[in-house]
Structure 1
């Protein structure tokens, strides 16, 4: 069984037992959260698509850890104008372990 969920402005295809990294969620490590924005639920050849969400479907997940992704380097330059700017960004994430998918 798998589900399409929406969290942090992104969509993820998840199944029980998988680990995914999503945008930071305000929850403690070890805490169980319930994601109720389920766009579709599939089981083999069966597929239930929501309009826009599947009514009554939930995905339970446990927070494994919080962290930061690798640094993205930003370099701006205008040739012949003596202009250079350096910057960087590290996006924070929350790692979730998917538990039960309820319909």
Structure 2
């Protein structure tokens, strides 16, 4: 059985046992994650999603957080401007091993969904923004803040 999954803006055709290098995910080595954006599931019968297959999932285990190969960007201005600049970049990647392709019942598997680091940063930012409002509602802190303001 195989599946076509979408993560990090790319699509991958996977089956059990495959090792993938995907855009960095918010997970540690040894964690089990589940990809829920499945575009197609194949095997004896092929199911194509509109746009995704409902209830399908791919369970994977995070092997390691790695960096990709270095890409060099060289810029040189010609003629009167004698300036040049070299910039390098190494993309952060996550190495995962696909353990199981689920054609249905993925929502009941109990495995954490695979989220990218941008999603994790957004969630942490939203939680931090909601925390001060919750702290102000506590009576002891409000009392201490009132005493400090009075002094």
| Shorter-chain TM-score tier | over 0.9
Which runs of structure 2 are paired with 1:71-82 in the superposition (5 Å)? 71-80=70-79, 81-82=81-82
Q: Which residue of 1 aligns with 2:38?
A: 38
Q: Which has the higher helix share?
A: 2
Q: Which residue of 2 aligns with 1:2?
A: 2
Deviations, residues 8-49 of structure 1 (Å, cap 9, x unaligned) = 1111111100100000111111110011100000115x3210
Q: Which runs of 4+ in 1 moved over 2 A?
A: none
Which runs of structure 2 are paired with 1:1-103 in the superposition (5 Å)? 1-44=1-44, 46-80=45-79, 81-103=81-103
Of 78-87 and 32-41, the range deviating more from structure 2: 78-87
How much has 1:4 moved relative to structure 2? 0.4
Return the TM-score normalized by structure 2. 0.65
Q: Which has the larger radius of gyration?
A: 2
| Residue aligned with 2:69, SS | coil
What is the aligned-residue RMSD (CA, Å)? 0.9
Return the TM-score normalized by structure 1. 0.95
Which residues of structure 1 form unaligned runs of 5+? none
Alignment partners' CA distance in 1, 2:42 and 2:83: 53
Q: Across the two proteins, how many residue pairs are aligned to each other?
A: 102
| Residue aligned with 2:54, SS | coil
